[in-house]
Structure 1
Amino acid sequence: MNARPRSEKAEARAEAQRKRILDAAQHCFIEHGFHGASMAAIAETAQMSAGLIYRYFESKSAIILAIVEEQLVLLRADIGRNTCPDFAVIMTNEYGRSYRPEGRGMNAALLLEISAEATRDPQIAAALDDYDTTVRDALHDWLTRAREAGGHALADDAARRRALMLQCLIEGLKLRETREPGLDRALLFAALQDVVPRLLDADLR
């Protein structure tokens, strides 16, 4: 009778420990870079032994894969909301937030570290490819969705082109965050207003 409650409690504890490790690893990767952050440093930040961390993740690469998968889970949850976001407002409000470890979405500095490591690690490269595909497919789905369903009713070909451009814009802003976190938000919003509405315009050829 008590086996299930104990099992659920153990699973919850394990998930909490795993989350604690991932949060600590992200802080270390952002502060020291992927190669500068040792497992010992991650363990110290997480306030647990390195041996315990190895019970959950066999290497730093495994931690990176888990971070990417965690971001995919959040992304898929956002997709499932079927809302009609104002991209210019969202990108302005989110600018600089993901540069901090507590920000939602892939941290800008961390994304650069992961991207660099992907050039050397095929598994990480494959995980980033999956992430990129999920983002672009989500944008395409949103752009082609009927207006009454929260979309923009773009034709398939136009949606594919503009999904790519939106993805480039999003990633470009993340790079800009690392170099200019204090960018004037009014200027950013005005600049986005020059571009984003055109990318969402179904009548634009």
Structure 2
Amino acid sequence: MTRDEKIDEASLSPRAREQRERILVAAQHCFVKYGFHAASMANIAEAAAMSAGLIYRYFPNKSSIVLAIIERQSEMELEDIRALSASTDPVEALMECFVEWSRPRPDMRIMNAALFLETSAEATRDKQVGKAIHHADELACAEFRQWLEQPAEQGGIGMSTTISERRSLAMMLLIEGLAVRAARDPKLDTQLLREALAEVVPYLMGE
């Protein structure tokens, strides 16, 4: 499903939006459990407790579900970046994300670390997925740059455009690295991580 073909959720009835979200949550559960390729529409139908025929009313194929989940995760990521920018303690905000990622739930609101790894791998095989992820990355970097360049009196950092471009990329790398680490080492010493972030984050947020 391309961005031109995607469903306008605002035009859907509350019931239809609820059904669509139910399918996406079930699909996310299946993709984390089985992987994109091994998960079938039958698996998704069973997890959603609905017929495959009903799922096809909302999504023409599995690829369209994958793209919708990437879009859904991107929207959540933008919300998390805004929450980070509004936080009085960015280190603790990042720690909260890591703890959540370390205790994955298929229906978790924030980015699921295992799903992040799965979509990253799929991007190397599927051009549409790769394009969708690239677009999501562009939006996230732009959100970071807006925060970093915004004047301090307006809640930003007041960085120059040149510096914010580099620092926004570094912040993205840091957050993605935390997600990977949460998936690979969920029992990581949180105090050690907090101390490590306390050394790095102030630098990234300073001129």
Quick check: TM above 0.5? yes
The 5 A counterparts of 1:91-110 are 91-98=94-101, 99-110=104-115
- Percentage identity across aligned positions? 47
Contact 2:41–2:62 (CA under 8 A) maintained in structure 1: yes
CA distance in 1: counterparts of 2:164 and 2:136, whole angstroms: 19
The match for 2:164 is 159
Q: Deviations over 1:28-82 (max 9, x none)?
A: 1111111121110110000001111111112221111111212233344556679
Q: How many angstroms does 1:96 deviate by? A: 3.6
CA distance in 1: counterparts of 2:171 and 2:38, whole angstroms: 32
Tell which deviates more after alignment, 97-106 or 181-190: 97-106
The match for 2:6 is none
Q: How many angstroms does 1:151 deviate by? A: 0.8
The 5 A counterparts of 1:130-141 are 130-141=135-146
CA distance in 2: counterparts of 1:64 and 1:117, whole angstroms: 10
Contact 1:28–1:41 (CA under 8 A) maintained in structure 2: yes
Q: How many angstroms does 1:103 deviate by? A: 2.8
Tell which deviates more after alignment, 129-138 or 181-190: 181-190
- Per the alignment, do residues 83 and 112 of structure 1 end up closer, same or farther by CA in structure 2, a change over 3 Å counting? closer
For structure 2, list consecutive stretches of 5 or more residues without a partner in the other structure: 1-9
CA distance in 1: counterparts of 2:187 and 2:107, whole angstroms: 17
Cα-Cα RMSD: 2.0
**Greater Rg, structure 1 or structure 2?**
1
Contact 2:149–2:158 (CA under 8 A) maintained in structure 1: yes
The match for 1:189 is 194
- Which residue identity is paired with 1:58? P
- Which residue identity is paired with 2:163? A
The match for 2:31 is 29
SS in 2 for 1:97: helix
CA distance in 2: counterparts of 1:88 and 1:59, whole angstroms: 40
TM-score after normalising by structure 2: 0.87
CA distance in 2: counterparts of 1:82 and 1:180, whole angstroms: 23
Q: How many angstroms does 1:123 deviate by? A: 1.3
TM-score after normalising by structure 1: 0.88
Aligned match of 1:59 in 51, 57, 61?
Answer: 61
Q: Indicate yes or no: 2:127 matched with 1:122.
A: yes
Q: Indicate yes or no: 2:174 matched with 1:169.
A: yes
Q: How many angstroms does 1:173 deviate by? A: 0.7
